Amino acid sequence: MAWRYPERWFEGGEVIIPADPNASFGALAGEMNGRLDADNLPLLALGTSLMEAESINVVRAAKSSTTTTIDKETLGWQAIDTMNLDIGDGTPGGILSVDFSCTWQNATTASPQHAVWFRLTVDGSAAAETYALSMWHRNGSPYLCCNVPVGPGSHNVIAWARIAVWGGASTAPAQFDLDITGREMVARLAVR
């Protein structure tokens, strides 16, 4: 790796000490963050009293221990979790990062012709989606994540699921319901 201003360089036959390349990384990191470190910023110069709440990051988390059942008769997407994140009109927006996980279980029997899909939407637009997860096994734990640029105001994040008999290009109603438990959704907004 080439350094513009190497703090320490190596010579042939020399044993590299980990602190040497770390010094070069430290110099680079100092340039990238504007040298805002302990040497150039007095202790307690910035504190919560000087910053407005949620002016840098906004975090929301939701965890549910209840069971949601996906109806076998419904072919379309069914909402399983919803989170409303209000950024406020005074902020310019930022990047919204959402993580979602859950556990699904087919209580009856393994069924390779059945499949389940999961999707995350932000303000009505699909942001992440799984492929068709086969129900050859009786349970599974999908994980979805996405990063979406958003503006000021209120934003709605929804996790969806659907179940169907899956045979190539066609789908039909499933023969049993699907239980979804252990839902967890975390939304983080990095404000610009």
Report pLDDT for 1.
44
Report pLDDT for 162.
85
Closest alpha carbon to 94 in 186, 159, 187? 187
Report pLDDT for 100.
92
Report pLDDT for 86.
66
- Pick one of 2.40.30.10, 3.90.45.10, 2.60.120.760, 3.30.300.30 as the CATH number of 54-191: 2.60.120.760
Residue type, 18: P
Contacts of residue 77, defined as CB under 8 A and 6 or more positions apart, other chains included, come to 119, 160, 161, 162
User: What is the domain partition of the chain in residue ranges?
Assistant: 1-45, 54-191
User: Which residues does residue 179 pair with via DSSP β-bridges, in sequence order?
Assistant: 69, 105
Report pLDDT for 133.
81
Which residues of the chain form beta strands (DSSP E)? Answer: 57-64, 68-70, 78-86, 94-105, 111-122, 125-129, 133-135, 139-140, 143-150, 154-167, 170-172, 178-191
Contact 155, 146 (CB under 8 A): no
Report pLDDT for 167.
60
CA distances from 23 to 28, 130, 186 (A): 9, 43, 35
Predicted confidence pLDDT, tens digits, the chain (192 residues): 445 656 667 777 777 777 777 777 777 777 666 666 667 777 777 666 666 666 667 777 878 878 888 877 777 888 888 877 765 555 667 888 899 999 888 766 656 677 888 999 998 999 999 988 877 767 888 999 999 998 888 888 899 988 877 665 556 677 777 888 888 888 888 876
Contacts of residue 115, defined as CB under 8 A and 6 or more positions apart, other chains included, come to 132, 133, 134, 135, 163, 164, 165, 166
Residue type, 65: S
Residue type, 113: Q
